Structure formats: C-alpha cells, structure tokens
Chains A and B, each alone.
Chain A
C-alpha cells in the first residue's frame, strides 16, 4: 500500500510525459498532412521526409544493439536488404490485392514477412557469434552484409545487378511516419522494461550480469533479433517507396551511415538517434556539392567522437518535453535567486566542501 503511494507521483510524471510525446507525434502528423494538402510540402520534400522516417527506424533499431547492448553491428544494411527483397517479392508475386483496404493488409503482411525473414537471418548468425564473449558479432555481421549483397547479385529471382523492378509504390508518408513512431515507442518501452534492464546490465558488465543470474546469450539474441526485425521492416518500406531496388544500395557504406547516426546521436539515447537520423538525412541533400567527401567526413566524425566524446552528443540521456520543462523551471528558479541576491547585495553562497566540513566541526 505505502509502496504504491510512493510510486504514484513518479507514475503521474511518466504518464504526463507519455501524453505530451503522444500529442506531439499526433501534432507532427497533422501538421505535415495539412502542409502537404496546402502544397507547401512538394514531392521532393515529402521524399526527404520519408527517407528521414526510414532512417529513424534503422538508427533506432541499430541503437538497440550497439548503444543499449553494446555490441557492434556492421551489417545493418544487409538485414535491410533481406527485408526489402522479401517484402517486394511478396507483393509482386503473391497476387493479393494492391489497392484500397486489401492493399493495406497486403502491405502490412509484406512488411512483417520482410522483418521476420531478416530476424531469421539474424538468428542464424547470432547464435554462433553471441554465444561467445568478445567482438565476433562485428566481424560476422560485416561478412554477412557483404555476402548477402553478393548473393542478391548472383541469384536469379532477385534480378541481379539490375535490381528488382516494378515494385508497387505502396509506401506513403503516413505509413512511414506511423511505423517510425511505433518503432521508437516499442524500443523505448523495451529499454525501460525488465528485459531492457537485463540488456543494459550486460552492456555494463557481462560477467557480473551472468553472475547475477541473467541468461546473457538469450538477452543478447533477443535485442539483436529485434533490431534485425525492424531493419527488415525499414527495408520493406524503402523498397515500396523507391520502386526499384538494386543490391548496390545496401552496401557497407550504408551500414556505416546508420552507425554514424547512432554514434553521433549518442549510443544508448533513442531521441539522440532520432535527431541524428533526421539531421544526417537532410544535411547531405543540402550539401550535395560535397558528396565526394561525405564518407571521408563520416570516418573523421567517427574517430573524433570516439576520442573526445565517446558517448555521442546526447550521451545516454533522452530529450523530452517534460524534461525540458523541468530544466526551464530549474533555470528560472536559479535566475530568480540570482536576481534576489543582486537586489540584496549578497554574494553567491559558497558551495565549497571544505568550509562546510569546518562548520560541522565547530
């Protein structure tokens, strides 16, 4: 009973925070839709916004493994490719309706199927790599990303180097927006859940986590498979947005681009990934003249971030409106106190530890 009472203010705060975020997401959705009907957002901008949402799904899901679990994955684009080809082949060959409500169901099925097949691949490569301690996942996912590309190039039903054509353009902005919001919500709640705490414990100290009774292989696999699933869904969305998919798109550089988003935003910070994904999708569009130097710049960003700010820009903290409100309130209080002191001609109170200790002795 008393425990419940103690938790109540915290739960209330959390609920308010969730409500504010939900309203913000809805508001963003409405604003963008209104702007589109008014013609302020043209096809070009709508395309960029769609890519922003797809990259948000990719970056947030990679953050689950790299930031929250602490394992490096270098083949996220490979899982995306698996999802993209599976979903595209499903909508092309299944013969299910492509229009109206039936079309929406078909599309949803295709996306889920793409995610599931990507997850299946992650199980196959995760079992040997994640059973062991150490950095095998990095090397095995790097190899997987390359091999899946080579396989797609050489298989018949994937269209080879020319790519898969005539994929129905079913991805609309509303689809990617809702799915991106859903992905962020699911991964964020996962991080706060009992499972998420186990995953965080493994990142902090795998041996200690194991000693505390956490089944490390299981939780590592769970996080990795979940990330691969969302990468597959993002791939399906991408395939049905762009219409033609070729293996060259899902190369190592794309995996690194997603990794840069996670590292820049802060490993372990979901909102950081969202912001970094948005910025790093829009910025290259604005700076097309420097596209030759993009990968060079990304590599320098990776090295410098690791050397001087390994936690990323946001570190592990999250950005939230409620938090921002609390921050503003705190700053306002401080400012008021400063004003009061100034009026009274007082000096700022000393926060020195030494003086306080002396006072205690006296």
Chain B
C-alpha cells in the first residue's frame, strides 16, 4: 500500500462523493434546502440495481438505466408530495428540514421492511484486472468509476450552461420570483432539478456497488453526510466545486485510513467540515452572496 495507491483509492471514493454532492448542491442551490433524503436516494438506487440485476437477471446497462429512471421518479415524487406544499406556502426553514429528515427515515425504514435489515451482497460487475500506473496497479473498476464521473460532470456542465433548461435552472436558483415573472415555469424546473440530482445519485449508487459489494437500508446516511460535507467544502451550489470537494474528501479519508487509523476517518470528515465553516463558510468555489433585507 504505497502513497499512490492510497491517492487512487481516494479518487475512486471521491468520485462517488462528488456525484452525490452534486445532487445536494443542485437542490440546495435552487430551493435552499439540505435534502437529507438525498443520501437515501443512493440506497434506493442501489436496491433498484439489485432488483433488476440480481433478482430479474437483466443485463447491467438495463439495470443502470432502470435505476436512474426509478431514482428520478422517487426524487420528483418526494418533491411533489413532501416539499412543494411547504415551499409554496413559504414555510419556515426548520419545517422543511424536519420534513426532509422525516422522508429520510421513512425511506430507510420502508426498505428495511421490504428487504430486511441484513446486508445484501452484490457480485462485482466491473471487469477484473488492472493496469500499471507509476508503480501502482489501478483496477479497471477504479478507471471506470473515475471516467464515468468525469463524463457525467462534463454532460452536466453542458446541460447547465448551454441549454435552455439549464438557463432556467440558473435563473430559478438566483431569484425564483423574478424567474417566474420572466415566464419560467419554476415548479417544473425545481422538479427537473430533483430528477437530475436523483439520477446522479443512482449513478453514484452503481459505482459504489462496483467498489463495495454490499448494500443495506442504512448505507445512504453516512455516504450522504460525507457527500454533503464535500458539497460545503467545494462551495454549495457550484458544480465544479462539488467535484473538487468530493475528490478532496475521498483522498483525505483514504490517507487517514492508510496512515492513521480507519476508525477515525469519519471523524476527520467532520473535522474538515468544522474547519471549512470556521475559515471559509462559502467553500472553495462558492460565491459570497450578499444578504438583502
């Protein structure tokens, strides 16, 4: 286990954090809500893959697409059933947060009832083998994970910066009221954001299962928390920030596991959060938004 191997392991985990962090970041950017249920969407995506791939024995690409579609649907359903009413009524933030935590607990316990709380193991579906790289061997799984993440990031940047929908998303996150006056359908834009974020979580779930072949109903909570910290570190609301934040988190965690102790790696994650909040609350790439009264 040399230094480069640790870094590569960190980049592997960090790519997954980055994908999940994007979902947090996009939703926070548009409705200013920490969507606690986002971590559990990863779990939903993982179980969707499990059902299609293992139980129905369909090919991998079908299960990935099915999982993405299912997660997008669940994300939109959560937004419509739980959040939209509160968002439209201009409810207090704490009500929104409590609803989000309620949705998160609901999903965890629902899947525990459906699939039992014991871990389900998934056979590794990435091709075996590795290539040498600077004295360390890199598995194909890691290469696929990092490549897939980079590809998704580029597509997302294009979507946000080059398309009309992306423009609408940016407008709503800047000022929802003004966007509505300009003829943008804010409700469908918010729903679309939830759908994209949840579909990204499904991609994250697939990549996660490639590296850690076990799924439980509670897998999403810690993964989601770390991804949220990554989003804050990178600057919440920023797409490249989420990518950089995720990668830094992954590497920091991997180095802690390798050189200090695997027990305190979770503590290091929150140490990072505390340091970021103390010294640069807007994150690495975040914009400093002035508050207007």
Contacts and interface: CB of A to CB of B under 8 A. Distances in A.
A-B interaction: yes
Interface of A: 66, 70-72, 74, 125, 127-129, 131-133, 135-136, 138-140, 142-144, 146-147, 150-151, 154, 207, 211, 252, 256, 259, 263, 267, 292-293, 295-296, 298-303, 306-307, 310
Nearest to A129: B277
Nearest to B93: A135
A263 B97 CA distance: 12
Given A70-B92, A129-B277, A135 B97 contact: yes
B178 interface: no
B222 interface: yes
Contact of B105 (A72, A256, A293): A256
Contacts of B229: 139, 143
Among all A-B residue pairs, the 3 with the closest Cβ atoms: A302-B102, A299-B106, A299-B105
A263 B225 CA distance: 23
A144 B85 CA distance: 31
Given A299-B103, A302-B105, A139 B267 contact: no
B138 interface: no
A299 B34 contact: no
Task: Sort chain B's interface into a size bin.
Answer: 35 or more
Given A207-B293, A292-B113, A302-B105, 16 more contacts: A128-B274, A128-B277, A128-B278, A132-B277, A136-B281, A143-B270, A144-B270, A150-B263, A154-B263, A154-B264, A296-B110, A299-B109, A301-B102, A303-B106, A306-B99, A307-B99
Given A146-B222, A259-B98, A296-B106, A139 B34 contact: yes
A43 B254 CA distance: 50
Contacts of B51: none
Contact of B291 (A66, A150, A207): A207
12 contacts: A135-B34, A139-B232, A139-B273, A143-B269, A143-B273, A146-B225, A147-B267, A147-B270, A299-B102, A299-B109, A306-B95, A307-B85
Contacts of B96: 306
A136 B231 CA distance: 12
Contacts of B103: 299, 303
B29 to A, nearest CB: 13
Interface of B: 34, 82, 85-86, 91-99, 101-106, 108-110, 113, 221-222, 225, 228-229, 232, 263-264, 266-267, 269-270, 273-274, 277-278, 281, 291, 293
Contacts of B85: 307
B82 A146 contact: no
B277 A302 contact: no
A300 B103 CA distance: 8
Given A139-B34, A143-B225, A307-B86, A263 B98 contact: yes
Contacts of A307: 82, 85-86, 99
Contact of A147 (B86, B104, B266): B266
Contacts of A298: 105
A51 B113 CA distance: 28
A125 B34 contact: no
Contacts of B270: 140, 143-144, 147
A151 B221 contact: no
A310 B92 contact: yes
Nearest to A302: B102
Nearest to B292: A207
Nearest to B102: A302
A143 B270 CA distance: 7
A267 B95 CA distance: 10
Given A72-B98, A310-B95, A146 B266 contact: yes
A138 B101 CA distance: 10
A296 B111 CA distance: 10
Nearest to B91: A310
Nearest to A147: B267
B102 A306 contact: yes
Nearest to B33: A135
A128 B98 CA distance: 22
B254 to A, nearest CB: 18
A301 B103 CA distance: 10
Contact of A139 (B95, B99, B228): B228
A140 B293 contact: no
Contacts of A142: 225
Contacts of B277: 128-129, 131-132, 136, 140
B108 to A, nearest CB: 8
**Residue of B85, B96, B102, B225 ringed by the most chain A CB atoms within 10 A:** B102
Nearest to B263: A154
B113 to A, nearest CB: 7
B104 to A, nearest CB: 8
A298 B110 CA distance: 12
Nearest to B107: A299
Contacts of A72: 94, 97-98, 101
Nearest to A307: B85
Contacts of B34: 135, 138-139
A263 B34 CA distance: 19
Tell which of B225, B228, B270 has the most Cβ of chain A within 10 Å: B270
Contacts of B228: 139
Nearest to A128: B277
